[in-house]
């Protein structure tokens, strides 16, 4: 496996190289996520851990991308930076034309609210709130009026076929239903990207397939989806697979190329 092997169509690859290469300039609007030499180091009791060592990544609008890598590869760190939960120590990160890497905490909160819909492995729903209230939450922080919130939250739950379970609390829902509530919550504010962190990590394979179908539907209707996973068969649902290793991008290839390369291990799973 060579470093930075890009097996995407040549024109697109060249374009990607071009967009990540021009430091300090806002990328063309068709690129939702652009990282240029993103570095992240942690000080762990005197020992410096270099989680990301310069990642160049460009994700276009409507793409469905899986980020893979073994534990310690830096994929969680990249996910946190892409999700605006963390900021890089070096390099720049442009999200939807905004230079996020230079933003204050409150500005980041605003970006998370408007631009990003999170789906987590552990669902991260508020246990005491109903499904409807959980879905309303991002709208609360967006300053949407309560009638409008209710309407939009109900609509989002309808999209994931949970309109009949709006008044249930998370502990009254199955794992798959919980994750669908989380997806509804992620989508309710019409974000630029849907960011999923091991979305099937806590689900059985049948339910995982069900959630992947929801993602597939979303991607096919034009939603940009970025999914972090360590399971190749889940990554194989995306149209493009990026693999990280030791804080650097190892491969960036189409789904077909990924399956062809690691097909035997996917089949084995």
Partner 1 sequence: MSFFQAIRLAWDTIRVQKLKSFFTVIGVTIGVTFLIAVVSIVAGMSRYMEDDLVGKLIAVNSFSLRTRPDFQVGDATQAQRAEWRRRPRVLRSDVDPVAEALPPTATWAVESESSLNVESPYASPRRTQCSTITEQWFTIKKMGVTLGRLINPQEYANGTPVVVVGQDVADHFFPNLNPIGRELKIQSIPYTVVGVADKQGSVFGQSLDKFVLAPERSPLNRWVNPHGVIDAMIVQGQDDNSMREAMEAARATMRSRRHLHPSQPDNFELETSENALDFWNKVKGYLVIAGIALPTVGLVVGAIVIMNIMLVAVAERTREIGIRKALGARRKDILNQFMVESATLSTLGAALGVALGIGFAKLLAAVSPLPAAVEIWSIFLGVGVGAGVGMIAGIYPASRAALLDPIAAMRQET
Q: Residue 228 class from Cβ within 10 Å (0-12 exposed, 13-18 middle, 19+ buried)? A: buried
Q: Which stretch binds partner 1 (CB under 8 A): 37-45, 81-89, 211-219, 230-238?
A: 81-89
Q: Does 16 bind partner 1 (CB under 8 A)?
A: no
Q: Is 17 or 151 the residue whose CB approaches partner 1 more closely?
A: 151
For partner 1, the binding residues in 141-180 under the rule CB under 8 A are 141-143, 146
# chain residues binding partner 1, by CB under 8 A: 27
Q: Does 49 bind partner 1 (CB under 8 A)?
A: no
Q: Which stretch binds partner 1 (CB under 8 A): 56-64, 140-148, 171-179, 209-217?
A: 140-148
Q: Is 73 or 77 the residue whose CB approaches partner 1 more closely?
A: 77
For partner 1, the binding residues in 207-266 under the rule CB under 8 A are none
Distance CA 44, CA 182 (A): 32
Q: How many Cβ atoms are within 10 Å of 37's Cβ, its own excluded?
A: 16
Pairing of the two strands 90-95 and 31-44: antiparallel
Q: Does 98 bind partner 1 (CB under 8 A)?
A: no
Q: Does 199 bind partner 1 (CB under 8 A)?
A: no
Distance CA 232, CA 238 (A): 10
Q: Is 196 or 241 the residue whose CB approaches partner 1 more closely?
A: 196
Q: Is 193 or 241 the residue whose CB approaches partner 1 more closely?
A: 193
Distance CA 103, CA 81 (A): 12
Distance CA 214, CA 162 (A): 12
CB of 233 within 8 A of CB of 205?
A: no
- Binding letters toward partner 1, positions 109-138, x by CB under 8 A: xx-xxx---x-x---xxxxx--------xx
CA dihedral 178, 188, 106, 59 (to 10 degrees): 90
CB of 254 within 8 A of CB of 240?
A: yes
Q: Is 26 or 42 the residue whose CB approaches partner 1 more closely?
A: 42
Q: Does 201 bind partner 1 (CB under 8 A)?
A: no
User: Residue 34: what are its φ and ψ, rounded to 5°?
Assistant: -135, 120
Interface positions with partner 1 (CB under 8 A): 80, 83, 85-86, 105-106, 109-110, 112-114, 118, 120, 124-128, 137-138, 140-143, 146, 185, 189
């Amino acid at each position: 496996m060579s470093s930075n092997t890009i097996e995407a169509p040549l024109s697109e690859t060249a374009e990607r190289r071009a967009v990540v290469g021009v430091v300090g300039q806002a990328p063309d609007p068709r690129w939702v996520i652009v990282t240029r030499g993103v570095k992240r180091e942690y000080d762990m009791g005197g020992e410096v851990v270099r989680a990301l060592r310069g990642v160049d990544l460009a994700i276009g609008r409507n793409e469905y991308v899986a980020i893979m890598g073994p534990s310690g590869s830096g994929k969680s760190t990249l996910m946190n930076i892409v999700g605006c939960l963390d900021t890089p120590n070096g390099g720049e990160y442009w999200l939807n034309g905004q230079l996020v890497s230079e933003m204050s905490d409150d500005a980041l909160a605003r970006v998370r609210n408007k631009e990003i819909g999170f789906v987590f492995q552990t669902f991260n729903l508020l246990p005491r709130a109903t499904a409807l209230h959980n879905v309303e939450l991002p709208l609360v922080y967006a300053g949407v009026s309560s009638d409008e919130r209710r309407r939009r939250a109900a609509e989002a739950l309808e999209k994931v076929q949970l309109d009949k379970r709006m008044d249930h609390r998370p502990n009254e829902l199955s794992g798959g239903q919980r994750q669908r509530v989380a997806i509804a919550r992620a989508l309710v504010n019409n974000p630029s990207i849907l960011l999923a962190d091991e979305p099937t990590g806590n689900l059985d394979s049948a339910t995982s397939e069900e959630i992947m179908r929801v993602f597939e539907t979303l991607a096919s209707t034009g939603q940009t989806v970025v999914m972090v996973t360590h399971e190749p068969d889940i990554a194989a649902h995306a149209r493009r697979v990026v693999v990280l290793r030791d804080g650097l991008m190892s491969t960036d290839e189409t789904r077909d190329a990924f399956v062809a390369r690691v097909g035997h291990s996917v089949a084995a799973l």
